C-alpha cells in the first residue's frame, strides 16, 4: 500500500493554513500568479436553469475573458452538465479549452451504478474531455469503502480517454480524517484529479480540506512517482483567496503542480475578480464589475 | 500633555454635569464603513487639538485602501437601498433627524472643539436637523417633480423617471461643520444612491459622531460611509475608483477642479462642482445624482388606429 493513512492534526492544519495567508507577494509575482490563476479556472455553470444560450455565453467568456486585454491567458475548461456538453463543444469552436462535464447523477450521486455509468458514457460520447464524478457519500459514511472504490474504478473505465476528477464533497464528510481516507480511495481507484466539492453544499472548498488533499497527493507521489491533480471548487470567489491557494500548492507540492494540468479552480465568479485585479495591477485604478462581462 | 488631557476630561465632566469623581474616557474616532466602525487599515492617526480645552483628539488618517473597502460596501448596499420605497427612505431620513435632536449637545461641544463659537455651533446643529426634515419631505416627492411624460409622434406612452446614478463619492465643504457636511450628501442619499463622504479634516470628530447617529437610525450599513483623513491624499481614490459613478466636490480651487474632472473622466463619472457660498437646500440637488430612465410603452387605440407594430 502506498499510504500509511496518518491521523490528521486539525489544529496543525489550521496553523499551517494561516501561514499561507501571511506570505507577502511582490508586485511582479502577484501579476504572474493572477494570470496563472486565470489559466487554472474551470469556468462553471451548474444550474437547473442552464440554457444553451447561457452555456454559449460562458464559452465566449472562456475564449475572450476581457476584450480590453486581448493578451490574457484563457481558462482551462468550461464545466457544465452532460446535456450541455455538445453545446459547449460547438461554442468553443476548436479553442484549446477543455469541456468538463459533471456526471454520475451530480450532485447527490444517489442512484444505482448502471445509471451513473450511462450518465458518464453519455457525457463522454457528447465530447467531454474531462469528467467530474461524485462519490457515494452515503456508502462512504456507513463504512462501505470498497463500494466507493469499485464505483470510482468503474466510472474511470467508462471515461475512456477523458480525465477523471473525483468529487469527495468534503462538506458532507464531517472530519479531516474522512477527507484523507476518501482522497486515498479516490487516488487508488484511478482518479486523475481529486476535487473538494460540488459547490451545492456548504462548506465547499476550504483551505484546511484542500491542504489535507494536497498532502495525500504528495504522499502518493513520494511512494509511486505518479502526479495526481487537485481541484478545489466552490467558495473561492476572490483573487486574494485564489493567491493564498496558489501559495499553498507551491509550498506543499512544488512547481510541477503550478499549471492547469495538475491544479484547477472550480468557480463561477472567480474569473471576473481575477480580471478586475489584473486590470487594477495594469492601470493602478481600483476596478468595478460594471465594466466586465458577466459569465 | 497629561495635564492637558486631564483638564480636557474635567471640562467634559463639567459639560455633561457628571460629578462622580469619574475619569472621562476620551473617544477613539474610527471610520464608518459598511455600518461598522473599523480603524483605518493604515494604522495612522492624526492628532487634533480640542480648541475648547486643549486636549488632544486622535482622528483616523484614512488611506486609499479604506476607500476601497468603503466603495465595496457602498456598491453592495446600493441594490437594497435603491429598491426601498421612497416613503421608507423618508422615514429613515426623519429617524436620523430624531436621533440628532437627542444628541444636539454633543455636536455643539464637538463643533466648539473645532473652533466654532457656541452660538454658531448651536445654529449649525439646528440647521442640520432642519435640513434632514427638509429632505425627508422631498424623499417621496422629488420623483413627481423630476418625472415627465414626453410627447412623441408614434403610438407610445413615453415617460421619463429618475433612477439613482449609483455610488457617489462626496468631498465635504471646508466651511461648515454639520449643516454643510449633511447638505453635501443627504440629497444623494435620499435619491437612492449610496455615498462615501470625506469629512473636512478639522470637523472629523463631528463627522464620526454623526456616524453614530446614523448607526442608530435604521440606516442600512454601507449606504453612508464616512472617511476621515487628508484631503490631498484621498482626492485621487475618491475620484478615480471605477466603482464610483458620481463625484460631488466642494471647492474654490481651480487646479483641484481640473484634477478631479480629469480623474473622474476615466469612467465618465458625473461630476458636480459646488461652491459652499451658493449652497442652499433644493430638490435640484437630488436631481444631480439621478439618471433619467425613459420608457416607451406601446399604446394603441381600441380600434388599432394609428398603431404601427
Instruction: Encode pLDDT of A72-90 as tens digits.
Output: 999 999 999 999 999 999 9
Cell numbers linked to B212: 453614530
Complex-level ipTM:
0.81
User: What pLDDT is stored for residue B14 in this prediction?
Assistant: 65
- Whether residue B257 lies inside any domain: the answer is yes
Residue recorded with cell 435640484: B284
User: What pLDDT is stored for residue B13 in this prediction?
Assistant: 61
Query: Do B267 and A288 lie within an 8 Å CB cutoff?
Result: yes
Closest chain A C-alpha to B240 CA, distance in angstroms: 7
Residue B4 has pLDDT above 60, yes or no: no
Task: Count how many domains chain A has.
Answer: 1
Query: Do A291 and B242 lie within an 8 Å CB cutoff?
Result: yes
Q: Which residues contact B215 (CB under 8 A, 6 or more apart)?
A: B32, B35, B37
Q: Which of residues 232-291 of A touch B (CB under 8 A)?
A: 285-288, 290-291
Query: Do A287 and B243 lie within an 8 Å CB cutoff?
Result: yes
User: What pLDDT is stored for residue B26 in this prediction?
Assistant: 85
User: What pLDDT is stored for residue A294 in this prediction?
Assistant: 82
- State the average pLDDT over residues B168-182: 95
- State the average pLDDT over residues A115-140: 97
Which has more pLDDT, B3 or B30?
B30
Task: Specify whether A177 is catalytic.
Answer: no
CATH number for position A283: 3.20.20.70
pLDDT band at B9 (very low <50, low <70, confident <90, very high): low
Q: CA B8, CA A196: separation in Å to the nearest integer?
A: 59
Q: Which residue in A209, A206, A205, A162 sits closest to A183, CA to CA? A: A209
Among B66, B242, B268, B269, most A C-beta atoms within 10 A, so best to mutate, is: B242
Closest chain B C-alpha to A287 CA, distance in angstroms: 5
pLDDT band at B1 (very low <50, low <70, confident <90, very high): very low
Q: Which residue in B19, B3, B27 sits closest to B113, CA to CA? A: B27
Q: CA B100, CA B108: separation in Å to the nearest integer?
A: 11
**Under DSSP, is residue A195 helix (H, G, I), strand (E, B) or coil?**
strand
- Whether residue B161 lies inside any domain: the answer is yes
- State the average pLDDT over residues B182-194: 98
Is A134 in contact with A107 (CB distance < 8 Å)? yes
Residue A25 has pLDDT above 60, yes or no: yes
- Whether residue A114 lies inside any domain: the answer is yes
Q: What is the mean pLDDT of chain A?
A: 96
Which has more pLDDT, A115 or B15?
A115
- CA A141 to chain CA centroid, Å, is 23
Which has more pLDDT, B299 or B67?
B67
Neighbours of A30 (CB within 10 A): 17
User: What pLDDT is stored for residue A97 in this prediction?
Assistant: 97
User: What pLDDT is stored for residue B279 in this prediction?
Assistant: 84
User: What pLDDT is stored for residue B11 in this prediction?
Assistant: 67
Q: CA A240, CA A230: separation in Å to the nearest integer?
A: 19
pLDDT band at A4 (very low <50, low <70, confident <90, very high): confident
- Characterize B11-31 residue by residue with b for buried, 16 or more Cβ atoms within 10 angstroms of its Cβ, and e for exposed: bbbebeeeeeeeebeeeebbb
- Which structural domain, as residue segments, surrounds residue A77? 10-291
- State the average pLDDT over residues B224-249: 97
Task: Count how many domains chain B has.
Answer: 1
- C-alpha distances out from residue A63 to A58, A60, A239, A281, Å: 9, 5, 20, 22
pLDDT band at B142 (very low <50, low <70, confident <90, very high): very high
Is A27 in contact with A257 (CB distance < 8 Å)? no
Task: Specify whether A89 is catalytic.
Answer: no
pLDDT band at B5 (very low <50, low <70, confident <90, very high): low
Among A280, A286, A287, most B C-beta atoms within 10 A, so best to mutate, is: A286
pLDDT band at B52 (very low <50, low <70, confident <90, very high): confident
Q: CA B245, CA B227: separation in Å to the nearest integer?
A: 18
- Whether residue B146 lies inside any domain: the answer is yes
Which string of DSSP letters, residue by residue, matches A17-54? HHHHTT----HHHHHHHHHHHHHTEEEE---TT--HHH
- How many beta-carbon contacts under 8 Å exist across A and B? 22
CATH number for position B254: 3.40.605.10
Which has more pLDDT, A110 or B279?
A110
- State the average pLDDT over residues A237-261: 97
Is A66 in contact with A295 (CB distance < 8 Å)? no
Is B220 in contact with B35 (CB distance < 8 Å)? yes
Task: Specify whether A90 is catalytic.
Answer: no
- Whether residue A83 lies inside any domain: the answer is yes
Closest chain B C-alpha to A50 CA, distance in angstroms: 25
- Whether residue A198 lies inside any domain: the answer is yes
- Contacts of A222-226 with CB under 8 Å at 24 or more apart are A223/A2, A223/A3, A224/A2
- Whether residue B270 lies inside any domain: the answer is yes
**Under DSSP, is residue A142 helix (H, G, I), strand (E, B) or coil?**
coil
Q: What is the mean pLDDT of chain B?
A: 92
Q: CA B189, CA B173: separation in Å to the nearest integer?
A: 17
- Whether residue B6 lies inside any domain: the answer is no
User: What pLDDT is stored for residue B301 in this prediction?
Assistant: 60
Residue B238 has pLDDT above 80, yes or no: yes
User: What pLDDT is stored for residue B7 in this prediction?
Assistant: 66
Q: Which residues of B touch A285 (CB under 8 A)?
A: 240-242, 266
Torsion angle, CA of A268/A202/A18/B43, rounded to 10 degrees? 70
Residues in chain A: 295
User: What pLDDT is stored for residue A2 in this prediction?
Assistant: 78
Is B166 in contact with B78 (CB distance < 8 Å)? yes
Residue B87 has pLDDT above 70, yes or no: yes
Cell numbers linked to A41: 479556472
Neighbours of A126 (CB within 10 A): 17
Residue B308 has pLDDT above 70, yes or no: no
Query: Do A288 and B241 lie within an 8 Å CB cutoff?
Result: yes
Cell numbers linked to B234: 484621498
User: Nearest residue on chain B to A289, judged by CA atoms?
Assistant: B243
pLDDT band at A224 (very low <50, low <70, confident <90, very high): very high
Q: Which residues pair with B304 in a beta bridge?
A: none
- Whether residue A211 lies inside any domain: the answer is yes
- Which structural domain, as residue segments, surrounds residue B109? 31-298
Q: What is the distance in angstroms between the CA of the first residue and the CA of the last residue of chain B?
A: 80
- Whether residue B59 lies inside any domain: the answer is yes
Phi, psi of A224 (to 5 degrees): -125, -20
Which has more pLDDT, A31 or A295?
A31
User: What pLDDT is stored for residue B152 in this prediction?
Assistant: 93
Q: CA A174, CA A151: separation in Å to the nearest integer?
A: 21
- Whether residue B191 lies inside any domain: the answer is yes
Is A129 in contact with A99 (CB distance < 8 Å)? yes
Closest chain B C-alpha to A22 CA, distance in angstroms: 16
- Catalytic entry in A61, A156, A231, A273: A231
Q: What is the largest CA-CA distance in chain B?
A: 89
Q: Which residue in B96, B112, B67 sits closest to B205, CA to CA? A: B112
Q: Which residues of A touch B237 (CB under 8 A)?
A: 286
- Catalytic entry in A86, A165, A181, A195: A195
Burial (CB < 10 A; 0-12, 13-18, 19+), residue B266, is: middle
Query: Do B71 and A286 lie within an 8 Å CB cutoff?
Result: yes
Residue B309 has pLDDT above 50, yes or no: no
- Whether residue B252 lies inside any domain: the answer is yes
Amino acid at each position: 500500500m502506498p499510504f500509511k493513512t496518518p491521523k490528521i492534526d486539525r489544529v496543525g492544519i489550521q496553523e499551517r493554513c494561516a501561514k499561507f495567508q501571511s506570505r507577502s507577494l511582490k508586485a511582479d509575482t502577484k501579476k504572474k500568479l493572477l494570470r496563472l490563476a486565470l489559466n487554472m479556472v474551470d469556468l462553471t455553470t451548474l444550474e437547473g436553469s442552464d440554457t444553451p444560450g447561457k452555456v454559449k455565453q460562458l464559452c465566449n467568456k472562456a475564449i475572450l475573458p476581457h476584450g480590453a486585454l486581448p493578451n490574457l491567458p484563457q481558462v482551462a475548461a468550461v464545466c457544465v452538465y452532460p446535456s450541455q456538453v455538445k453545446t459547449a463543444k460547438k461554442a468553443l469552436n476548436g479553442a484549446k479549452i477543455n469541456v468538463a462535464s459533471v456526471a454520475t447523477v451530480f450532485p447527490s450521486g444517489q442512484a444505482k451504478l448502471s445509471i451513473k455509468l450511462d450518465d458518464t458514457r453519455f457525457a463522454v460520447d457528447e465530447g467531454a474531455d474531462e469528467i467530474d464524478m461524485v462519490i457515494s457519500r452515503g456508502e462512504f459514511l456507513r463504512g462501505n469503502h470498497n463500494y466507493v472504490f469499485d464505483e470510482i474504478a468503474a466510472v474511470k473505465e467508462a471515461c475512456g480517454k477523458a480525465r477523471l476528477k473525483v468529487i469527495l464533497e468534503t462538506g458532507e464528510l464531517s472530519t479531516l480524517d474522512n477527507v484523507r481516507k476518501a482522497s486515498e480511495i479516490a487516488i487508488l481507484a484511478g482518479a486523475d484529479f481529486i476535487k473538494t466539492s460540488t459547490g451545492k453544499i456548504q462548506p465547499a472548498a476550504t483551505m484546511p480540506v484542500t491542504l489535507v488533499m494536497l498532502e495525500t497527493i504528495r504522499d502518493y507521489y513520494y511512494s509511486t512517482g505518479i502526479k495526481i491533480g487537485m481541484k478545489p471548487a466552490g467558495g473561492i470567489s476572490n483573487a486574494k483567496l485564489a493567491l493564498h491557494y496558489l501559495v499553498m500548492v507551491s509550498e506543499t507540492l512544488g512547481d510541477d503542480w503550478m499549471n492547469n494540468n495538475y491544479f484547477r479552480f472550480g468557480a463561477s465568479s472567480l474569473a471576473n475578480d481575477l480580471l478586475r485585479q489584473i486590470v487594477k495591477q495594469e492601470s493602478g485604478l481600483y476596478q468595478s464589475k460594471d465594466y466586465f462581462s458577466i459569465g | 500633555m497629561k495635564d492637558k488631557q486631564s483638564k480636557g476630561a474635567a471640562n467634559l465632566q463639567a459639560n455633561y454635569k457628571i460629578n462622580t469623581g469619574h475619569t472621562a474616557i476620551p473617544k477613539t474616532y474610527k471610520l464608518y464603513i459598511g455600518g461598522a466602525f473599523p480603524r483605518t487599515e493604515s494604522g495612522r492617526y492624526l492628532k487634533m487639538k480640542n480648541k475648547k480645552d486643549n486636549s488632544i483628539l486622535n482622528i483616523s488618517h484614512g488611506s486609499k485602501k479604506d476607500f476601497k473597502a468603503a466603495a465595496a460596501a457602498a456598491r453592495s448596499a446600493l441594490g437594497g437601498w435603491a429598491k426601498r420605497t421612497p416613503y421608507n427612505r423618508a422615514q429613515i431620513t426623519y429617524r436620523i433627524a430624531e436621533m440628532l435632536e437627542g444628541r444636539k449637545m454633543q455636536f455643539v461641544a464637538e463643533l466648539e472643539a473645532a473652533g466654532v463659537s457656541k452660538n454658531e455651533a448651536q445654529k449649525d446643529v439646528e440647521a442640520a436637523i432642519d435640513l434632514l426634515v427638509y429632505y425627508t419631505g422631498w424623499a417621496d416627492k422629488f420623483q413627481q417633480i423630476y418625472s415627465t411624460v414626453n410627447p412623441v409622434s408614434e403610438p407610445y406612452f413615453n415617460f421619463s423617471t429618475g433612477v439613482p446614478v449609483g455610488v457617489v463619492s462626496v468631498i465635504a465643504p471646508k466651511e461648515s461643520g454639520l449643516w454643510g457636511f449633511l447638505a453635501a450628501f443627504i440629497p444623494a442619499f435620499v435619491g437612492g444612491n449610496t455615498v462615501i463622504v470625506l469629512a473636512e479634516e478639522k470637523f472629523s470628530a463631528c463627522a464620526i459622531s454623526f456616524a453614530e447617529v446614523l448607526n442608530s437610525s435604521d440606516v442600512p450599513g454601507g449606504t453612508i460611509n464616512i472617511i476621515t483623513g487628508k484631503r490631498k491624499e484621498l482626492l485621487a481614490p475618491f475620484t478615480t475608483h471605477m466603482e464610483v459613478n458620481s463625484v460631488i466636490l466642494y471647492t474654490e480651487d481651480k487646479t483641484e477642479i481640473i484634477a478631479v474632472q480629469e480623474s473622474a473622466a476615466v469612467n465618465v463619472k458625473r461630476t458636480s462642482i459646488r461652491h459652499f457660498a451658493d449652497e442652499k437646500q433644493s430638490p435640484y440637488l437630488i436631481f444631480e445624482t439621478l439618471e433619467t430612465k425613459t420608457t416607451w410603452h406601446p399604446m394603441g387605440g381600441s380600434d388599432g388606429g394609428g398603431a404601427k407594430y
